[in-house]
Chains A and B, each alone.
Chain A
Amino acid sequence: MPSIEKMMFADIAGVESELDAVLDIISSCGCFHMENAAAIHISGSKNTAKRENPYIAPLKMLSEIGTLTGITLEKADASGIRDGDAEKIKEEIRTVRNRVQKLKGEVKKASDNLNAHKMALEQVLHISGGEGVGSLSVDIQQIFACKHIKVRFGRLPVDSYDKLPFYEDKNFFFLAYGRDKEYIYGFCFAPLSEAEEIDSILDSLYFDRIRLPDFVHGSAEDAAKFLQNDVDNDASEVEKTKKELADYIEEKRELLNKYFTKLKTLHDTFELRERVMMIRDKFYIVGFVPEREAEWFKSLFSELTTVSLVMKPCSEGGGGDLETPVKLRNNKFSEPFSMFVELYGLPAYNDMNPTNFVAITYTLLFGIMFGDLGQGLVISLIGLILWKWKKMTLGRIMERLGVSSMIFGTLYGSIFGYEELLDPVYESMGIHFLPFKAIHSINNVLYTAIGIGIAIIIISVIVNMVMGFKEKNYTRALFSNNGLAGLVFYCSLLMLLLGGMLGLNVGGPVYIGCLIVLPLIVMFLREPLGELVKGKGFKIHESLTDFIAANFFECFEFLLGYATNTLSFVRVGGFVLSHAGMMSVVLALAEMSGSFSPLVMILGNLFVIVLEGLLVGIQVLRLEFYEMFSRYYTGGGKAFKPVKVDYDEIIE
């Protein structure tokens, strides 16, 4: 029976000089769930061992290098680097960072030059009429050589251009020669004496001034040639500096990854000090270790002479008031289904691990509701791909569900919607009628679905009773709606109904009185009866009126619950029928589409797999959570999280 991993509480103490060695063991062993020692060790002068983490600064530098160069630092083999090398590493990282900054600066400078020249070229092309509306055949340098007129060359945002009439009384004019969606390009001419004021107006209009290099002279065409040459040179300079940076970082990449791995290990280990308590020069660390790994864990400390490690099983009170973390222990089949259990909430340490029950019922119900030999195979294959390729746990679940679907598909005689394809095989085996062939046996399917539901509800109640006895919670085990009283009531009522349907003589005043009314009264009085069993007497904690009112409605809800939960399983049969129905539509469409029939069959099957697969998956999960978990499972456990270094986290 898969269960919950047994835990040992570990209490580690030692002198401060060996703290780093202990933390190193803890962060690398992978089996220690660390708690805050202050929660256990009470002292007047307690302090944590937290100090300023010295590894943050070099990690930030590494992160800066990553940002500047676009590389992602990854975990690498850093076994050759000793702890004592930290200072040397810091210096080396600083050198690399400075070099990267310098190269990045060179790239930026070259890019800026390129942009400036590109922009100037763009303007000159506008002037020459290459891309703009007009053409200026004067020498550009002559324009700028005017003695009494200040000339500005650049572009105005379209909105600002529309605002120029506002300044019609000012002594300047803007000669536009081209435009695009956002800007109007042109020269601005102003008297030298008013240049300052005009510049300020242009600034307020967000005039983007473009400075032409000194060597630009001659006509616009000539200037364009000069600038094109410059742009080409700049582009090759940009490429050259970028390559230099890329080559340098590629050369250092392996080393940087090693340094990152080492520093991140040291950083995360150092962060553990926050949960370490110091009393004078002694440190205290507490946490949990799985019982199976306890001996090995203990052996890791054998060489540390001042360190004492005391371990006590949690079942014997180890850990005191600390909540014991939970690690589920599942077999290979049920393991992926723990995803659903964790989604709902982990069980408490002393509770039961429901993963196996979920795995069996989920697989079974999915197979029943989505039984098709061919489509089941497709689901399994998709699951296999998702698991192997994307490492998705859902893929592993799909593998199992697909197999279940194939088994039930064989029982129904259904392959990709063809309900008759397996008939010859069965006939050759001497079987002439399949009792669960959906289309022909609607009543059989629906009755069986309710039967499965009843069985699952009864099993859930029994599991709840077992858990109640284990916890010595007799209200839960004996008197609740999911305890013995509920079980007797539910089974007796079912027998009564079944007897009525089959015309059997079940019932009578004694039967009804003892097996139906009495359990109902017990459920009504479950809380005071629970107190009575504990030896605290028959006690009602609230006023009698409140007690009667509250329990009347609760009992009414229990009765409704039995009915609705049982009928809820009709959906199992409903989906068996809907699958057959949907596939018959696909077959009819395929028949109508003549030569496209294979294509319609493939698309139809894919549609049904996706839509119905998703619906059935959700419906079964609903049955698990609502009809089953609500009867025996509470969740609320704390997950076992062993200390480990997180290499995906970047310190910025």
Chain B
Amino acid sequence: MNEKRSACRRNLNATVAKMHAVYGRRLRQEDYNALLSCTSVSDAADYLKRSTYFSKVLENVNTESIHRGNLENILRRSLMERYFQILRFEKIAENEFYNFIIIKTEIDEILICILHLNAGTSDHINTLPIYMNKYTSFNLMELAKVGSYAELLALTEKTPYSAILKKYQPDEKGHIDYPALELELNTYYSRRLADSLKLIGGETEKRLRDFIGSQIDMKNIINSYRMKRFFNADAEDIRSRMIPIYMRISQQKMDELYNARDDKEFMQRFSQTYYGREIAAKGFDMSDPETALIRFRYLQIKRAFSRSTAAPECFYTFIQLADIEVKNIIRIIEGIRYSLPTKEISELIIT
């Protein structure tokens, strides 16, 4: 443990500098504006190839004929390439903490597989991140071929997910309780991430714990708000679907939110919480609370990245920022593909 910890506390200033340098090449508002003004997927791909740092990954791509799905896959893969590139830079991959993306990918793919099992479909292969196969604890290609829950259990038998999956056997109709399983897997991810923070120690551990905890708080708030607003779900139902981790908002305060009569009362109670006050102080438009929370969360990530000089904190926030950027581009590309009005697409962009 001590050895691991000292490895985690190595001086990684070069990695931090590298991340800041890579972040410096990020897409700016003018790039998003230019992408929004594109009228076809090829135009957008061409802009990315000509005018952004994605030119390298799109180097051999013929933007004239590129398929939207393929472009999205290339962008997602480039995110992972960036991730591994930084891990390799000062060989930090041996630390459990830095593997969070791999764990997240495994959980996401298992959940997609379960959705397909429930729906009786089998086109999981299309979106499968096959390039992650050499890093995952089970074979992704085999996961795509899974046709029953028993096959899934067999495939994941030697992984930490086995114990959780075994608890959620299909009912007599073959249906798997997806929401409960999703919550448990996500909770497992959050706890494993929190455990790996112990290897970091010191002020950085404290800040990261606070930061990751806040991210979970906000995720819970957004999800519970959606359940209240769109399904008017009762407190028990909401509570059972939230990750039971609390950082800047106590369990009692969260319970008060879940107990709200409707979304209006939810928002009124939310405005009294730490996040409600912070968001109001930043001047975000609370008429669209979901967007306000998402934008506030983005602001927190950006701040944490720019003010930190500790590699684990920089790394975690850098990956989040890169992920948001790729998602922004994908939203624009999808918007263009389905001819959404520019204004509507721009509202989906987080900057």
Contact = CB atoms under 8 A, between A and B. Distances in A.
A208 B141 CA distance: 22
Interface string B130-145: 1101000000010011
Interface in B202-231: none
Contact of B70 (A115, A119, A157, A180): A157
B130 A163 contact: yes
A649 interface: no
Contact of A159 (B59, B60, B65, B131): B131
Nearest to B125: A166
A182 interface: yes
A620 to B, nearest CB: 31
A4 B59 CA distance: 59
A163 B123 contact: no
A166 B61 contact: no
A165 interface: yes
B165 interface: no
A181 B77 CA distance: 13
A111 to B, nearest CB: 9
A162 B130 contact: yes
Interface string B67-78: 101100110010
A519 B145 CA distance: 91
Contacts of B144: 163, 166
A208 B131 CA distance: 20
A182 B60 CA distance: 6
A182 B64 contact: no
Interface in A440-482: none
Contacts of B130: 159, 162-163
Contacts of B61: 182
A627 B69 CA distance: 62
A159 B67 contact: no
Nearest to A165: B141
A112 B130 CA distance: 33
B146 to A, nearest CB: 11
Given A157-B73, A204-B123, A166 B60 contact: no
A119 B67 CA distance: 16
Interface string A197-236: 0000000111010000000000000000000000000000
B49 to A, nearest CB: 12
B67 A206 contact: yes
Interface string B53-87: 00000011110110101100110010000000000
A163 B128 contact: yes
B351 to A, nearest CB: 21
Nearest to B123: A204
Contacts of B77: 159
Interface residues of B, number: 22
A629 interface: no
Given A166-B141, A180-B60, A181-B59, A208 B125 contact: no
Given A159-B131, A166-B141, A208 B60 contact: no
A163 B133 CA distance: 11
Interface string A160-179: 10110110000000000000
Nearest to A115: B64
A208 B126 contact: no
Contacts of B125: 163, 166, 204
Interface string B102-144: 0000000000000000000001011010110100000001001
A244 B62 CA distance: 27
A115 B123 contact: no
A182 B62 CA distance: 10
A166 to B, nearest CB: 5
Q: Which has the most chain A C-beta neighbours within 10 Å: B77, B130, B144?
A: B130
A112 B74 CA distance: 24
Contacts of B65: 119, 208
A652 to B, nearest CB: 9
Interface string A96-134: 000000000000000010010001000000000000000
A153 to B, nearest CB: 14
Contacts of A115: 62, 64
Contacts of B123: 204
Contacts of B74: 157, 182
A621 to B, nearest CB: 27
A309 B67 CA distance: 66
B73 A204 contact: no
Secondary structure class of chain B's binding surface, majority of residues: helix
A166 B145 contact: yes
Given A115-B62, A183-B60, A206 B69 contact: yes
A64 to B, nearest CB: 13
Contacts of B131: 159, 162
Nearest to A157: B70
A208 to B, nearest CB: 6
A124 B332 CA distance: 35
A181 to B, nearest CB: 5
Contacts of A162: 130-131, 133
Contacts of A112: 64
A450 B125 CA distance: 78
A204 B126 contact: yes
Contacts of B62: 115, 119, 208
Nearest to B64: A115
Interface in B301-323: none
A162 B125 CA distance: 11
Nearest to A209: B65
B222 to A, nearest CB: 32
Contacts of B128: 163
Contacts of A166: 125, 141, 144-145
Nearest to B145: A166
A205 B127 CA distance: 10
A181 B123 CA distance: 26
Interface in A568-586: none
Nearest to B65: A208
A380 to B, nearest CB: 36
Given A157-B73, A204-B126, A206-B70, A163 B141 contact: yes
A183 B61 CA distance: 8
B121 to A, nearest CB: 12
B93 to A, nearest CB: 22
B151 to A, nearest CB: 14
Nearest to B57: A182
A181 B56 CA distance: 11
Nearest to A210: B65
Contacts of A206: 67, 69-70, 73
Interface string A130-166: 0000000000000000000000000001011011011
Contacts of B69: 206
A163 B143 CA distance: 12
B326 to A, nearest CB: 16
A180 B133 CA distance: 21
A204 B62 CA distance: 18
Contacts of B70: 157, 160, 206
Contacts of A119: 62, 65
Contacts of A204: 123, 125-126
A224 to B, nearest CB: 19
A183 B73 CA distance: 13
A131 B102 CA distance: 37
B127 to A, nearest CB: 10
Given A159-B131, A181-B60, 9 more contacts: A162-B130, A163-B125, A163-B128, A163-B130, A182-B74, A204-B123, A204-B125, A208-B62, A208-B65
23 contacts: A119-B65, A157-B74, A159-B77, A160-B70, A162-B130, A162-B131, A163-B128, A163-B130, A163-B144, A166-B141, A166-B144, A166-B145, A181-B59, A182-B59, A182-B60, A182-B61, A183-B60, A204-B125, A204-B126, A206-B70, A206-B73, A208-B62, A208-B65
Interface of B: 59-62, 64-65, 67, 69-70, 73-74, 77, 123, 125-126, 128, 130-131, 133, 141, 144-145
Q: Which 7 A-B pairs have the closest CB atoms?
A: A206-B70, A182-B60, A206-B67, A162-B130, A166-B125, A181-B60, A180-B60
